[in-house]
Structures are given as structure tokens and as C-alpha cells.
């Protein structure tokens, strides 16, 4: 008969039931179930798509009139300000971790790699979308130049924006997305050098996932075997602090 009561409660006042759901969500075992749906979605999506299935690329006339920046609009740390004042001439992207050949690349070095241009849709976890034209270096070129060592499973991106308490923004992707042909380190948006609000001087584009994976203000790329010991261990700043899914394909 509890089902009938549930219905009655539902009609009389959703609030009580919702409070019940909230209590349920605090139960450790149930929470585990809620948080593991991500694994199903990742498995299902990866099973349905070809490894290199491309995100849709749009026509130039479909670009959003204004590309909405989100999250940090300016890192505003003394270090970042110094780099910005100098036109990022002193900025270096450090590539390390489980690689044979650690690198430190300037913007000019990066531009010497083959470029890719793509007009793609940026989908925020909040629900909005913006279409922009990105230009950048294909990440797999850089990883090949640094030569990943055996055991590397994830690529971690560390950023210049301090999210408070000395914790920098960071994100991570696995090798499937890291070697995807549309995964680029973008230095230009809509034919202009990346603006500070959009992640200058360099940001990640990982087109088959939601916006928070697209780390801005890149400083360091690290190949790792596990996320343990990095940040809160969940693979990204929002994953650690807000409980966002690490796999953001959905």
C-alpha cells in the first residue's frame, strides 16, 4: 500500500517526498549508485561511437554572435598578470609526468605544430550552448613529441586560475579523448587570439564533452597513471568540489 501513499503524498505535497529523496541521497550506498551512473553512460557512449567519431562541425554562418565566457573571467594572480602584460612571451606550456621527453613550449613553438581549425558547439553543463571557431594544435601531436611512457592513462591539465585557497583549476581526460583528432589546444577563437575571458593564452577543446572539461589558462600538461593524489583525486576541480561527473559526455 505504500505506493498509494506515495502517490497521495505526491499530490498533497511534493516537498515531503523530496526531503525523503534528499535523505536517501545522503545514504552512502545509495549515493554510490547515483554517482556510478556515469560509468554506465561512459561505457554506453563509448560502445556506440567509433573511437574517433567526430563532434559536428558547423558552417561559419552558424557561429554564435557572441561566445559566452564562463567560469573564471580572469585569473588575476600576480603571476598571470605578469605573463599577460608581456603578451605571454614568457609563458611556457610544460609537458611532463609519464613522458620520455618533457617539454616546455612557447606560443611560437606551439604554432609551429600542425594546426586544426574547427567550428564546434560548446555545451555548458548548465544547459546553454555557443558555437565558435577554434584554431589550435592537435594534442596528439604534442603527446607524440613528448612520447608517452607505458602506464600513462590520463592527461591532466593544470591551469593558471586559482579557485581559492591556493587550489588551481585542473581537468583530466583519458587517452581516447587525448588522441581524438578534434582534441586541440586552442590559441584562437573566431579568428582572434584567445581573449583572457576565453582562456588566454591557451585552452583545451575536448569536443565530445561538456564545457567544464575544456580547461582554460593552460600552464602544464601531465601524463599520469592514476588520479590518486592529484587535487581531490576525482580528476578535476569541479569533480572534486561540486560532485560533477568526470565523464562529461552527457
Partner 1 sequence: MDGPLSDREQATPRLVLRHKWPTRLWHWLNALLLYVLFTSGLGIFNAHPRLYWGQYGANFDHPWLELERFGRWITLPAHYNLAMSRHWHLTAAPIFAFALLFYMLWSLLGRHLARDLAFRRGELAPGHVWQDIRDHARLRFPTGEAALHYNVLQKASYIGVIFLALPLIVLTGLTMSPGMNAAWPWLVELFGGRQSARSIHFITAFALLAFFLVHILMVLLAGPGNEIRSMISGRYRIPETHAEKGR
From 36-44, 95-103, 164-172, 190-198, give the range in contact with partner 1 by CB under 8 A. 36-44
**Using rule CB under 8 A, residue 22 touches partner 1:** yes
| Nearer CB in complex with partner 1: 161/207 | 207
Beta-strand runs (E) in 33-144: 93-97, 103-105, 115-123, 129-138
**Using rule CB under 8 A, residue 131 touches partner 1:** yes
**Using rule CB under 8 A, residue 94 touches partner 1:** no
Q: Using alpha carbons, select from 95, 123, 96 the residue that is nearest to residue 110.
A: 95
**Using rule CB under 8 A, residue 179 touches partner 1:** no
| Nearer CB in complex with partner 1: 3/29 | 3
**Using rule CB under 8 A, residue 192 touches partner 1:** no
**Using rule CB under 8 A, residue 126 touches partner 1:** yes
Minimum Å gap between C-beta 66 and partner 1 is 4
How many Cβ atoms are within 10 Å of 51's Cβ, its own excluded?
A: 9
Report the C-alpha gap between 158 and 110 in whole angstroms.
17
Report the C-alpha gap between 212 and 170 in whole angstroms.
10
CB 181 within 8 A of CB 116: yes
List 5, 11, 29, 108, residue binding partner 1 (CB under 8 A) = 11
Report the C-alpha gap between 8 and 124 in whole angstroms.
37
Check residue 21 and report its DSSP letter. H
* CB half-sphere exposure, 87, CA atoms < 13 A: 3
List 78, 127, 164, 166, residue binding partner 1 (CB under 8 A) = 127
**Using rule CB under 8 A, residue 125 touches partner 1:** yes
**Using rule CB under 8 A, residue 171 touches partner 1:** no
Report the C-alpha gap between 188 and 240 in whole angstroms.
29
Any idea what the Cα angle at residue 79 is, between residues 78 and 82, rounded to 5°?
A: 85
| Nearer CB in complex with partner 1: 54/103 | 54
**Using rule CB under 8 A, residue 129 touches partner 1:** yes
Chain Cα centroid distance, residue 219: 14
CB 200 within 8 A of CB 217: yes
**Using rule CB under 8 A, residue 32 touches partner 1:** no
Site mask for partner 1 (CB under 8 A), range 219-248, x = bound: -------------------x---xxxx--x
Residues in contact with partner 1 by the rule CB under 8 A: 3-4, 6-7, 10-11, 13-15, 17-19, 21-22, 25, 33-35, 37-38, 40-41, 44-45, 48-49, 53-56, 58, 62, 64-66, 68, 121, 123-131, 207-210, 238, 242-245, 248-250
Amino acid at each position: 500500500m505504500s505506493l498509494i501513499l506515495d502517490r497521495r503524498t505526491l499530490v498533497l505535497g511534493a516537498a515531503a517526498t523530496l526531503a525523503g529523496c534528499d535523505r536517501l541521497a545522503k545514504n552512502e550506498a545509495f549515493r554510490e549508485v547515483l554517482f556510478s551512473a556515469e560509468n554506465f553512460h561512459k561505457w554506453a557512449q563509448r560502445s556506440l561511437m567509433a573511437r574517433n567519431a567526430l563532434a559536428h562541425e558547423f558552417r561559419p554562418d552558424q557561429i554564435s554572435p557572441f561566445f559566452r565566457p564562463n567560469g573564471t573571467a580572469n585569473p588575476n594572480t600576480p603571476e598571470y598578470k605578469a605573463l599577460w602584460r608581456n603578451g605571454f612571451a614568457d609563458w611556457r606550456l610544460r609537458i611532463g609526468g609519464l613522458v620520455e621527453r618533457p617539454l616546455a613550449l612557447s606560443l611560437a613553438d606551439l604554432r609551429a605544430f600542425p594546426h586544426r581549425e574547427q567550428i564546434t558547439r560548446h555545451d555548458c553543463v548548465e544547459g546553454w550552448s555557443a558555437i565558435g571557431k577554434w584554431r589550435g594544435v592537435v594534442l596528439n601531436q604534442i603527446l607524440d613529441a613528448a612520447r608517452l611512457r607505458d602506464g600513462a592513462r590520463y592527461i591532466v591539465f593544470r591551469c593558471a586560475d586559482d579557485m581559492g585557497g591556493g587550489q588551481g583549476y585542473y581537468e583530466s581526460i583519458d587517452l581516447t579523448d587525448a588522441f581524438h583528432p578534434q582534441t586541440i589546444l586552442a590559441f584562437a577563437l573566431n579568428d582572434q587570439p584567445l581573449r583572457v575571458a576565453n582562456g588566454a593564452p591557451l585552452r583545451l577543446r575536448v569536443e565530445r564533452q561538456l564545457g567544464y572539461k575544456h580547461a582554460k589558462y593552460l600552464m602544464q600538461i601531465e601524463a599520469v597513471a592514476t588520479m590518486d593524489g592529484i587535487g581531490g583525486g576525482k580528476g578535476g576541480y569541479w569533480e572534486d568540489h561540486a560532485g560533477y561527473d568526470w565523464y562529461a559526455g552527457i
